[in-house]
Amino acid sequence: MSGTGSCTVVVGCQWGDEGKGKIVDVLAEDVDIVARYQGGANAGHTVHVGDEEFILHQIPSGILHPGKRCVLGNGVVLDVQQFFEEYEALSARGVDVEGRIGVSWRAHLLLPYHRLMDQVSETSAAEKIGTTGRGIGPAYEDKTGRRGVRVVDLANPERLHKRVAAAMERVCARLEALGHEDARDELQERLDEALALGERLLGIATDAGSEITAALKSGKRVLLEGAQGTALDVDHGTYPFVTSSSTTAGGAATGTGIGPTVIDSVVGVVKAYTTRVGEGPLPSAFEAKMDERVRELGAEFGATTGRPRRCGWFDSVLTRFAAQVNGLTALAITKLDVLDTLDELRIATHYRMPDGEVVRGFPADTWSLGSVEPVYETLPGWKTSIRDVRRLEDLPAAARAYLDRIEELTEAPVGWVSVGSQREQIIQVG
Ligand code: IMP
C-alpha cells in the first residue's frame, strides 16, 4: 500500500464477549473509518460512555465517536429491520447517525424467514448449537448455497421478488415438514415489512472494499471490527458449536473487500478469564460455586439474549492458538478488575487428553475437548481494586505477574488492559 493510512483488525480470541466493543470504542478515537466484516445481529457489543450504556448489534461501535464513518462489509448478514431499529434508537439518544453509515452492495440480507428457520431448527435439532436465534446460520447457508439475496438485488425489484419468492417456497416447504403449516401468511407480512425498507437501505449502499481502499490510499486510518471470537469461527472454532462466519482476522479481508496486504496490525481481545454462551465444550470451566461468583462479579449475561455465560480460568492453549490463527500483533486484556477479590488465579497451560497425552496445541477434535483435563499453573491474586489504575507500573505486582504470564504463554505482547467498563478505565502499555 503506497499511502500512509493504517489498517487494524480487532478480533475476539475466545468464545466471543471478550469486550471488543470497549476496545473498538477506545481505538476508534484515532481512526477515520470503523468497519464490521462478519456476523449480524447475533453480536452484542456493550459500550459505556459516561452514565450511558449502549448495546450495539450491527452498527460498529465507532458510531459513538462523532464524525467517524462506519461501514458494514460484504461479510455481514444484514437484518434490515433490526438495523434501522438500532439506527433510530441511536438517533433518539442523540447520536448523530445521518450520513455516517455505509452498507456494502455485496452484503447478504438476513430476512424474517432466516430467523424463523433458525429458531425452528434449533428447537427440533437433536444436537443443539445454542444459537442466538437471530437467523445467522440459515442466512449464511443461503449465501454459500448461492440462493441468497444481496443489498444490490434491492435495486432490481423483478430479480429481488423472484429470488425471495423462491426462498419463501423452500422455507415454507421445510417449515411444513417440521410441523409449522400455518407460518406462511405471517412470514409474508414480515417479509414485506423488511423489503419495504429496501429503498432506504439503497440510499446508504456503498462499494465497501473500494471505499476503504481509497481511504487507506489517501492516508486515512481504518479499524476492522470482528464479532464473536476465534473459537466460534466456522473453520477454526469448536465446530460444530460455532457461528457460521469467518470471525478470525483472515475474514476481515474477505468480509470487507480489501486485500490482506493492507492490514498492518491485528489486536486480539481476550477477557482476563474465559466465558462461553451456547452449547459446546469449555475446557477450563470453573466448578459451580466459582462459576456463580465470577458470573456475578463480571455480570456475565449475554448482551443479545440475556443467557448466563459459563465462566472459567484463562485458557492459554486457546489464546495461543488464536494468536497463531489471527497473526496477533498485540493483545488487549479486558475485565482484569473482575478478578480483584480472588485469592489465587489459575491459567491453563496445556491439556491432558483423554488418553493421557499432554498437549500444548488446541485440538481439532471438539468432542475430545469436552473431556480434556487442563493443566493449570496457579498464581497469587492481588486482592485490591485496580479500577483506578491507568499505568501498567501502578498495577499491583501480582496483577503484573498475571499479565506477564498470559503474554508469555499466548506469545503476543499486551498492548491494552481494561480495568472497568468506562472508556477511561484503560491502561495503554508502552
Ligand atoms: P449463532 O451465531 O446465533 O448462529 O450462534 C452460534 C453460536 O455462537 C452459539 O453458541 C452462540 O451462543 C454463539 N454466539 C453468537 N454470537 C455471539 C456473541 O456475540 N457472543 C458470544 N457468543 C455468540
Q: Atom 12 (ligand 1): residue with closest C-alpha?
A: 278
- DSSP structural state of residue 301: B
| Three-class DSSP category at 391 | coil
When pLDDT is cut at 50, 70 and 90, the band that residue 305 belongs to is confident
The x, y and z cell numbers of residue 77, run together, are: 448478514
Instruction: Give catalytic status of residue 114 as yes or no.
Output: no
Q: Are 41 and 110 in contact (CB under 8 A)?
A: yes
pLDDT surpassing 50 at residue 1: no
What's the average model confidence in pLDDT over 68-81? 98
pLDDT single digits (tens) 183-209: 899 999 999 999 999 999 999 999 999
d(CA 429, CA 393): 9
Instruction: Give catalytic status of residue 315 as yes or no.
Output: no
| Three-class DSSP category at 330 | strand
What's the average model confidence in pLDDT over 270-285? 97
d(CA 356, CA 185): 57
pLDDT single digits (tens) 342-395: 999 999 999 999 999 999 999 999 999 999 999 999 999 999 999 999 999 999
Given the DSSP bridges, would you call strands 52-56 and 69-72 parallel, antiparallel or unpaired?
Answer: unpaired
- Expressed in angstroms and rounded, the spacing between residue 18 Cα and the centre of ligand 1 is 13
d(CA 135, CA 411): 36
pLDDT single digits (tens) 109-123: 999 999 999 999 998
- Mean pLDDT rounded to a whole number for the chain: 96
Segment (H or E) for 186:
helix 184-195
d(CA 248, CA 268): 10
pLDDT single digits (tens) 36-48: 999 999 998 888 8
Residue 3: what pLDDT?
A: 56
Pocket test for ligand 1, best of 232, 244, 275 (most atoms within 8 A of CB): 232
When pLDDT is cut at 50, 70 and 90, the band that residue 303 belongs to is confident
- Expressed in angstroms and rounded, the spacing between residue 60 Cα and the centre of ligand 1 is 17
- Expressed in angstroms and rounded, the spacing between residue 113 Cα and the centre of ligand 1 is 19
- Calculate what percentage of the chain has a pLDDT beyond 90: 92
Cβ contacts of 98 within 8 Å, gap of 6 or more: 91
d(CA 334, CA 23): 8
d(CA 366, CA 311): 18
d(CA 341, CA 272): 14
Per-position b or e across 77-99, b if 16+ CB within 10 A of its CB: bbbbbbbeebbeebeeeebebee
The single residue of 45, 108, 114, 350 carrying the catalytic annotation is 45
Among candidates 212, 248, 196, which has minimal Cα distance to 71?
A: 212
The x, y and z cell numbers of residue 236, run together, are: 477454526
pLDDT single digits (tens) 278-293: 999 999 999 999 999 9
d(CA 31, CA 8): 9
Ligand 1 residue neighbourhood (C-beta within 6 Å) = 15-17, 42-44, 129-132, 134, 136-137, 227-228, 232, 241, 243-244, 277-278
d(CA 11, CA 23): 10
